[in-house]
Chains A and B, each alone.
Chain A
Amino acid sequence: MTSLKELQARFQAGILTGDDTILDEVKDSAREQRSVLFGVYRHAYVARLAEVLANDYELLHTYLGDASFAKLAKAYIDANPSDQRSARWFGRHLPVFAKDTAPFASHPELGEIAALEKALADAFDGPDATPLTVADLAATPAEDWPRLTLEPHPTAIRLTFTSNAADIWSALKGETQPPTSTRLPEPQALIVWRQGFMARFRPLAAEEAMMWNEAAKGVRFGVLCEMVAIFAGEDGAEVRAATYLKDWIEAGMLAGCRVEPAHAPLEGAPLEGAGNSASVRPVSQ
């Protein structure tokens, strides 16, 4: 008798690869051939996962239409058997798959629309955190501001697009005709995050994107101001940096801040005088 272990391996191969060895183990019913009955499992596997992808990538589905989306879904399902207990995570590789796999790769907006949909979904049910408020920040004495580091909200995700995928997404979301896909002259920076219970995104100007990227690495506010000054001129650099910071706080994009010790430890050196900020990453100054 075939062992349970071997039986399950054959059953799974029968679903994933179309191998018919399993048919030796199952019986015809009074009304149906065994191949038809086992076919229910084969069909259900692809149909169920294609439905998961269509739900998770609803606007990409709308953009591509049923036939093209079905091709993308089938190619993805064939290349990525699910290794997740929850179907919620099955489609997580679709943005990269669409970006890297022919023929989808020649349409960069496909992978980027998918990336935006995935980021919004991840932000929607990402970790909870209390947003930083202006009042929290106001409690920091002015002389400590240069040593302030910022903690992004845990749902914040930075994306960089080469196509007008964000505009296409917005048009599809608004149920209007999407613009023709184009490559952008310069890459577009976007940030996705959850504000309250709403997953949102917005573009970041180049300078703001630079400052966000550095802030997310734990760079101090004083250094961020210097970077902003180098990026687009010293005139008003501190005001620009403070304005970005205010916008981020008002939008709930930050979850905390802390004042670093006056003398930051060198990378790899033991932390001294850090008190309860032992988890702070070394700052590159």
Chain B
Amino acid sequence: MTDHKPPYLGFGLGLRPQHYQEILSGNPAIDWFEVISENYMIPGGQPLRILEQIRERYPLVMHGVSLSIASTVPLDTEYLTALKRLADRVEPKWISDHLCWTGVHGVNLHDLLPVPYTQEALDHVVDRVSQVQDFLGRRLTLENVSSYVTFGQSEMTEWEFVTEVANRADCWLLFDVNNVYVSAFNHGFSTDEFLHGVPQDRIVQFHVAGHSHEEGHIVDTHDHPVCGEVWDFYREAVTHFGPVSTMIERDDNIPPLAEVVAELDIARQIAREVQEGARLTAAE
């Protein structure tokens, strides 16, 4: 792949229908939007028209939930064709999906299911990412998912697996800050190990989101405000990686736009503080 690393876009939000009107009438100070690809793989009507209008005003990136890159069933060319058609229309800065599988044998479980970190799975995923990139004619961006189980057969850590996929398939990474936090809690690893274990030059985007804390595990529900611990980890991530396009991801209990924008302002503030801190350190 010869395409260059995508540009830094600043601070964005996931585009949700509940906010369409406010965005179009208010032109809020949001740097960019991420759209769920599948929501716009529809024949026509208002959602596509609104997408066109927002595209005229803001940079967009496309984020899919059902590429199923790690599935052992053949790649769905019909889906890939629809994805490419949408990308031709939207001209996103990048296209992302998750390092996971969503179903086999013609079933889609509509969930982001975990992969065993084995050489077999690695070879399989690398091959599939290469096929998808060839089809789309551009690099893919893959996101680490939240997971609840670990497999006995795993031969490496998640961050080793993610790194190998990115380097061997030559793809970009979406570093989901919340997902690392959730998986670290659920599986008892250190968020720092993950942070320092993945290649900085591959990271093109951050996701920041809320979750639900159960008794002995955390569920990645994206229905709460971002908690203090995840903000702390975001600060560490910005410190380690430098400026990375950052997005607040809210999928349920969608609050008024102003509330999500206020969360985005927290991210801006943290990034600013980190940058100023780095400048002071450099000046000393």
Could you tell me which A residues sit within 8 Å of B by CB distance? 1-5, 7-9, 11-12, 15-16, 24-27, 29-32, 34, 36-38, 40-41, 44-45, 48-49, 52, 81-88, 90, 124-128, 154-155, 194, 197
Contacts and interface: CB of A to CB of B under 8 A. Distances in A.
Interface in B211-242: 215-217, 219
A152 B108 CA distance: 34
B71 A8 contact: yes
Given A7-B116, A8-B104, A40-B148, A86 B187 contact: no
A82 B135 CA distance: 26
Contact of A36 (B72, B121, B153, B217): B217
Given A4-B120, A124-B46, 8 more contacts: A4-B116, A7-B153, A8-B71, A82-B110, A125-B48, A127-B44, A128-B43, A128-B45
B275 interface: no
B186 A37 contact: yes
A85 B120 CA distance: 25
12 contacts: A7-B153, A8-B101, A12-B104, A29-B188, A34-B149, A83-B107, A83-B108, A86-B38, A125-B46, A125-B48, A126-B44, A127-B43
Q: Which has the most chain A C-beta neighbours within 10 Å: B110, B118, B217?
A: B110
Contact of B76 (A81, A85, A87): A85
Nearest to A40: B148
A155 B43 CA distance: 10
Contacts of A9: 104-105
A83 B68 CA distance: 13
A1 B118 CA distance: 10
Contacts of B44: 125-128
A41 B219 CA distance: 10
Interface size class, chain B: 35 or more
B106 interface: yes
Contacts of B217: 29, 31-32, 36-37, 40
B46 A3 contact: no
A34 B187 CA distance: 11
Contacts of A34: 149
A124 B49 CA distance: 12
Contact of B149 (A37, A82, A88): A37
A41 B113 contact: yes
Nearest to A127: B43
A41 B146 CA distance: 11
A164 B106 CA distance: 37
A122 to B, nearest CB: 9
Contacts of A24: 152
A126 B105 CA distance: 29
Interface string B100-138: 010111111111010110101100100000000000000
A44 B31 CA distance: 33
A36 B219 CA distance: 12
Contacts of B45: 124-126, 128, 155, 194, 197
Contact of A38 (B71, B148, B188, B219): B148
